[in-house]
């Protein structure tokens, strides 16, 4: 499964559906959601956009707007939709997450976790 808080929770969920050949790495968006890949490159990979009734329009204490004028939310993830409408995530468009005003480098967290003695 995959989701982001601004979308209202899950965007995709692993489940068996449709033709057997569609059950690859990608998963279909939940029925209430629409996903798109914005400005895809030659491989069909672009930024994942999400639109649904649950997408938040903005933040309470910030002037940042979460969704654009057409209510599409930019996820910050890169991916592509296959011929069955399944979303395959490829990578993050930015390797920095901002949490409580602090910039957190995702690769440094992943590296730290890989070297932690309790992570196998």
- The string of DSSP codes covering the chain is -EEEGGGTEEEE-----S-GGG-SS-BPBPTT-EEEEES--TTS-EEEEEE-TTS--B-SSS--BSB-TT-PEEEEEEEEE-TTS-EEEEEES-SEEEETTEEEEHHHHHHHHHTSTT--
Q: Which pLDDT band holds residue 19 (cuts at 50, 70, 90)?
A: low
Q: Calculate mean pLDDT across residues 103-116.
A: 78
Q: List domains and CATH numbers for the chain.
A: 2-93 (2.30.38.10)
* Amino acid 11: pLDDT: 82
pLDDT at 120 over 80: no
Q: Which pLDDT band holds residue 23 (cuts at 50, 70, 90)?
A: very low
């Amino acid at each position: 499964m995959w989701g982001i808080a601004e979308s209202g929770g899950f965007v995709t969920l692993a489940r068996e559906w449709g033709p057997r050949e569609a059950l690859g790495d990608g998963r279909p968006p939940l029925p209430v959601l629409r996903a798109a890949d914005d400005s895809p490159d030659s491989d069909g990979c672009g930024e994942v956009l999400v639109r649904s009734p649950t997408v938040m329009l903005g933040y309470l204490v910030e002037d940042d707007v979460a969704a654009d004028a057409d209510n599409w939310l930019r996820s910050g993830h890169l991916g592509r939709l296959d011929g069955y409408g399944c979303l395959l995530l490829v990578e993050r468009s930015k390797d920095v997450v901002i949490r409580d005003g602090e910039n957190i480098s995702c690769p440094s967290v992943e590296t730290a976790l890989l070297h932690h003695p309790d992570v196998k």
